[in-house]
Chains A and B, each alone.
Chain A
């Protein structure tokens, strides 16, 4: 804990103030905007900020570009629903405490998935995560316990006030977000976080230097499944009905990757910014235009634009520009969310995914 307070102390006053303001804004948001449509958009935004952070916490730090994290979302959603139904739990606020249990189920799934997928590297890893993802989706469609294609009904709170119905979900999502950000903020400043970065930069060299590569990357993979599984549980509780294709949704992984890259991979703020902007746009278009196509097109175009104009993501690009204007010396290796007291870490923000080494040629 002392390490934690030390890192807190190392934060600049401005940053601390920004965090306090952000927490305050999130806390009062549903009291100011009471329109249920707005709060629902906000719930999804918080949920995707949390899940993007988790995705970034694994993929952004380790360089293993997972397109299978939606597995954990689905496992969390199904675990939550099946437990709540089997034990005939009453749909009250207490049911939110089932979220961490669902998260643990997701972690168990992640041990199995990771044990297979992490044997491979680079593009093979990407493809095998897609493959394993489809195995889980097909299981969702074909097992008895998941209810097959007709999905499962989730108990819905019936006696909550309609006007403030969304608020418990909102605060659950906010707590999930807070937990996830804190988790990755701590990991990022820990030896474990540095070991992960060393794997991203050069796995063989990290192994040579004595980093327990396998254990570190598998642990990081499993840890990242926890918030995603909890988000899946929250999603199930909020929506009230789950289907294999809505919780094992291949677009989720793409969304997390895009949100992370748009914001800035490997940074704490990046996936938060990407998540709040892109998910709000998506939910808005979904609810008001009820047109998924336009959303897909906008999404793709925004993404291409960011990739080619701000290949490092919004946060590192903006931070770099501000620092340059201020005349602070900053190499391409500056870290958006770190401060100057941190020891220099190699190439944290610029590294899009895999490694700091060039191509193999």
Chain B
């Protein structure tokens, strides 16, 4: 029983961090109908940025977010402004997959060139020390990461539903033409949305890098998981992404505890396949995947 409880707690805590990263991905899709394949490598970039700040400048991982979040935000706005904005409306989803894939491999090449293929892990006192709960030890970073993720997801909800910008964003999401007609600068909304969607990877990457050893190659695994989560949650739905993250990581943790960690990853994708066979719109998707 304690093993089961441990797996569930583990799944919920890591799931919250995945929820944060996936929320960025699905937010971008919801507003612009583009899939950001670079999200995985951007998480890794976030982890490397935190690494540089903590090792070379001695800045605490959480304090460093004050620097890395704005940096990633600007990068996101740059990608939208420089590349995604130029995509035509035709074939937009597929083209966006390719363009962001190209961005991802460029970033991967650059990171590998700078940091090499060796695995790194972020360290701090809360990574090395554990708290004792329910009869097992849990590094503090899992708890702190959970609090951070919940806090940021809360802020995201606040921005979306309680601010003028959030209203513009949701309007653009529902109907771009109508939004433009009532005076919303859709391009600006898109740029800021992409910025926010990428900015969350700074926080996600920091927690990821503190809980997992990573190198530039970790992005392939990350993006596959994030895409799985986003599809299961229904593309564009932040609540769905959160539910799917927690569900999937709890399942993975349970399989990993009772069976083996290698097969746990397999289960991750098996669930995707099974769900899509039964429900092509995803677990929480409202409508069928849009026909062309």
Listed in ascending order, the chain A residues whose CB lies under 8 Å from chain B are 65, 116, 119-124, 126-128, 130-132, 134-135, 138-139, 141-142, 202-204, 250, 254, 257-258, 261, 292-297, 299-301, 303-304, 307-308, 311, 351-361
Contact = CB atoms under 8 A, between A and B. Distances in A.
B2 interface: no
A302 to B, nearest CB: 9
B109 A294 contact: yes
A359 B227 contact: no
B109 A128 contact: no
A297 B109 contact: yes
A279 to B, nearest CB: 15
B94 A304 contact: no
A307 B277 contact: no
B99 A304 contact: yes
A358 B94 CA distance: 13
Interface in B51-92: 83, 86, 88-92
Given A124-B231, A294-B109, A295-B109, A138 B93 contact: no
Given A116-B277, A359-B89, A359-B92, A301 B266 contact: no
Closest 4 CB pairs of A and B: A296-B109, A300-B106, A353-B94, A297-B109
Q: Which residue of B88, B94, B95, B291 has the most chain A CB atoms within 10 A of its CB atom? A: B94
Interface in B238-292: 262-263, 265-266, 269-270, 272-273, 276-277, 280, 282, 289-292
A293 B113 CA distance: 6
Contact of B290 (A128, A257, A301, A360): A360
Contacts of A352: 90-91, 94-95
B9 interface: no
Given A131-B228, A203-B292, A359 B97 contact: no
B106 A301 contact: yes
B276 A123 contact: no
B219 to A, nearest CB: 11
Contacts of B99: 304, 307
Contacts of B105: 254, 296-297, 299-300
A211 to B, nearest CB: 15
B176 interface: yes
Contact of A294 (B113, B176, B266): B113
A60 B93 CA distance: 15
Majority secondary structure, B binding face: helix
Interface string B95-117: 10111011111101110110000
A353 B91 contact: yes
Contact of A123 (B235, B265, B273): B235
B276 A120 contact: yes
A360 B177 CA distance: 12
A155 B262 CA distance: 29
Contacts of B90: 351-352, 356, 358-359
24 contacts: A116-B273, A122-B93, A122-B290, A123-B93, A124-B231, A128-B231, A131-B227, A131-B273, A135-B266, A138-B263, A202-B292, A257-B98, A258-B102, A293-B112, A295-B109, A296-B106, A300-B104, A304-B102, A307-B98, A308-B83, A352-B90, A361-B89, A361-B175, A361-B177
B184 to A, nearest CB: 14
Interface in B142-180: 175-177
Contact of B266 (A139, A304, A355): A139
B202 interface: no
A2 B276 CA distance: 44
Contacts of B33: 359
Contacts of A356: 90
Contact of B224 (A121, A134, A296, A353): A134
Given A351-B91, A356-B90, 17 more contacts: A119-B280, A120-B289, A126-B94, A127-B35, A127-B227, A127-B231, A128-B272, A131-B272, A257-B101, A293-B112, A297-B110, A304-B99, A352-B90, A352-B95, A354-B93, A361-B175, A361-B176
B119 to A, nearest CB: 16
Contacts of A141: 262
B106 A297 contact: yes
B267 to A, nearest CB: 10
Contact of A307 (B95, B262, B289): B95
Nearest to B264: A138
Nearest to A359: B89
Nearest to B227: A127
Contacts of B138: none
A124 B276 contact: yes
A308 B86 contact: yes
A113 B92 CA distance: 25
A301 B33 CA distance: 23
Given A297-B106, A300-B106, A307-B95, A250 B220 contact: yes
